[in-house]
Amino acid sequence: MTDDQRSAGAPTLEDVARAAGVSRATVSRVVNGVRNVDPVIQEAVRQAVSVTGYTPNRAARSLVTRRADAIALVVSGAGVEPEAARGDSGAGASGEEDGGNGGSGSFTAQVFADPFFGRVVTGVVDYLRPRGMHPVLMFAETSRAREEVVAYLRQGSADGALVVSTHAEDPLPALIADAGLAAVLFARPALPVPVSYVDLAHQDGARLAAEHLLGRGCRRIATISGPLDVPAGEARLSGFRDTMARHGHPYIPTAEGQFTQESGESAMERLLAEHPDLDGVFAANDLMALGACHVLREHGCSIPGDVAVVGFDDSSAALACRPPLTTVRQPVEGMAAEMTRLLLDRLARPDDPVTSVIFEPELVVRGSA
């Protein structure tokens, strides 16, 4: 091939090898992720790839590496089959299956309405993109959809799974573990499963919220908990109650929410009806705190003058709130990136033991408390 012919087509391994001053075989090893290549040579090859604009042939690479270079990002729903979802219909990864709760697509609609999931996707994509890998978004809200996720992984369409469960009884982590497939979970599982996970020290985050409200002088404090069948919801409530008890407040009025703005509004209405003299509220996520603030304003309460409000997550809802929400920061993007790193490490070293990484929360003080 002449230089003119080469420049007219796509860059090849030979072009990269020539630019890096190494053999074609060495370039192939670096591109295919072989680990026993000198770091200096690896960097030279990466620079040559950048200069030449070489793009690996994914089909050919898959034949060599037996990898799909794709990761399944799975949002998994309740373990109990919804009545409306039973039967023969199902679409699995497409998300078209009736997820219960009143109609087709309701599960996926709930997922996309929560800023938490967008932050998870951002963290995963930002980590995978520089490594030439891609996430495949899947939904598993019924047994049929969970079976399709496991089959998808078994057939090698994705190299492993990043699983975000929305229900404590979700059977998907155990199904994946029993099948011997690579996976990492966002949040510790409610039941023991030999799968790595990342999580937040939720009780410590709730402690920060309680101490901040008490430090402001609040004494008639209530909380809007998350769903108590979700480990994070239970942990945030227990951490808040424990801290309040340690400061001489043995009884904390509580209304359970579902991590949605609407449930926060309903919970705040109940709390105000039963305890109209409240001067502080801790909501277990920002969406519920946003709903609580709407209700407080409708009842003529100033925030934070009459009632101070603290949320949890430091999501976009915290900035949308008026006044901007004081909240406990959960570094979701960083946690999602770490979850992805753990999965890639698992794929590279499948015999390593499972592990966990726990992130620390941080109080972000704004105008609501």
What tens digit of pLDDT does each residue of 261-277 get? Answer: 999 999 999 999 999 99
- What's the pLDDT score for residue 63? 43
Among 177-181, 196-200, 221-225, 253-257, which is the least confidently predicted range? 177-181
In one-letter notation, the amino acid at residue 248 is G
Q: Are 162 and 100 in contact (CB under 8 A)?
A: no
- What's the pLDDT score for residue 4? 43
Largest CA distance in the chain: 84
Among 65-69, 227-231, 357-361, which is the least confidently predicted range? 65-69
How far is residue 76's CA from residue 120's CA, in Å, rounded to a whole number? 14
How far is residue 107's CA from residue 88's CA, in Å, rounded to a whole number? 18
- What's the pLDDT score for residue 297? 97
- What's the pLDDT score for residue 27? 82
Report helix, strand or coil for 174.
Answer: helix
DSSP 104: B
By percentage, how much of the chain surpasses pLDDT 70? 85
Instruction: Indicate whether 78 pLDDT > 60.
Output: no
- What's the pLDDT score for residue 58? 53
How far is residue 265's CA from residue 151's CA, in Å, rounded to a whole number? 41
User: Which H or E element spans position 197?
Assistant: strand 196-200
- What's the pLDDT score for residue 346? 92
How far is residue 23's CA from residue 113's CA, in Å, rounded to a whole number? 51
- What's the pLDDT score for residue 24? 86
Q: Are 290 and 114 in contact (CB under 8 A)?
A: no
Query: 20's torsion region: left (phi>0), alpha (psi -120 to 50) or beta?
Result: alpha
Which tops the pLDDT comparison, 166 or 211?
211
Q: What is the mean pLDDT of residues 136-140?
A: 91
Instruction: Indicate whether 288 pLDDT > 80.
Output: yes
Instruction: Indicate whether 59 pLDDT > 50.
Output: no
Angstrom distances, CA of residue 305 to CA of 280, 297, 300: 10, 11, 11
Which tops the pLDDT comparison, 16 or 123?
123
Band of pLDDT at residue 1, cut at 50, 70 and 90: very low
Angstrom distances, CA of residue 31 to CA of 20, 22, 125, 129: 13, 13, 20, 15
Which tops the pLDDT comparison, 204 or 86?
204
Instruction: Indicate whether 8 pLDDT > 90.
Output: no
Which tops the pLDDT comparison, 28 or 329?
329
Strand partners of residue 137: 73
Report helix, strand or coil for 71.
Answer: strand
Query: Residue 44: CB partners within 8 Å, gap ≥ 6?
Result: 20, 21, 22
Give all strands of the β-sheet with 134-140 in edge-to-edge order: 134-140, 70-76, 161-165, 183-186, 196-200, 356-359
Instruction: Indicate whether 323 pLDDT > 50.
Output: yes
Burial of 302 (0-12, 13-18, 19+ CB in 10 A): exposed
Among 35-39, 99-103, 116-120, 295-299, which is the least confidently predicted range? 99-103
Instruction: Indicate whether 208 pLDDT > 60.
Output: yes
| Arithmetic mean of pLDDT over the chain | 85
What pTM, to 2 d.p., does this model score?
0.75
The most confident of the ranges 2-11, 77-86, 307-316 is 307-316
The C-alpha angle with vertex 45 and arms to 42 and 51, in degrees rounded to 5, equals 145
Q: What is the mean pLDDT of residues 104-115?
A: 69
- DSSP assignments along 125-145, one per residue: HHHHGGGT-EEEEEEE-SHHH
Tokens found for residue 184: 């990492």
- What's the pLDDT score for residue 46? 84
- What's the pLDDT score for residue 90? 30
Q: What is the mean pLDDT of residues 185-206?
A: 94
Report helix, strand or coil for 283.
Answer: strand
Among 20-24, 34-38, 184-188, which is the least confidently predicted range? 34-38
pLDDT tens readout for residues 93-109: 333 333 333 333 576 77
Band of pLDDT at residue 40, cut at 50, 70 and 90: confident
In one-letter notation, the amino acid at residue 269 is E
Q: What is the mean pLDDT of residues 29-57?
A: 78
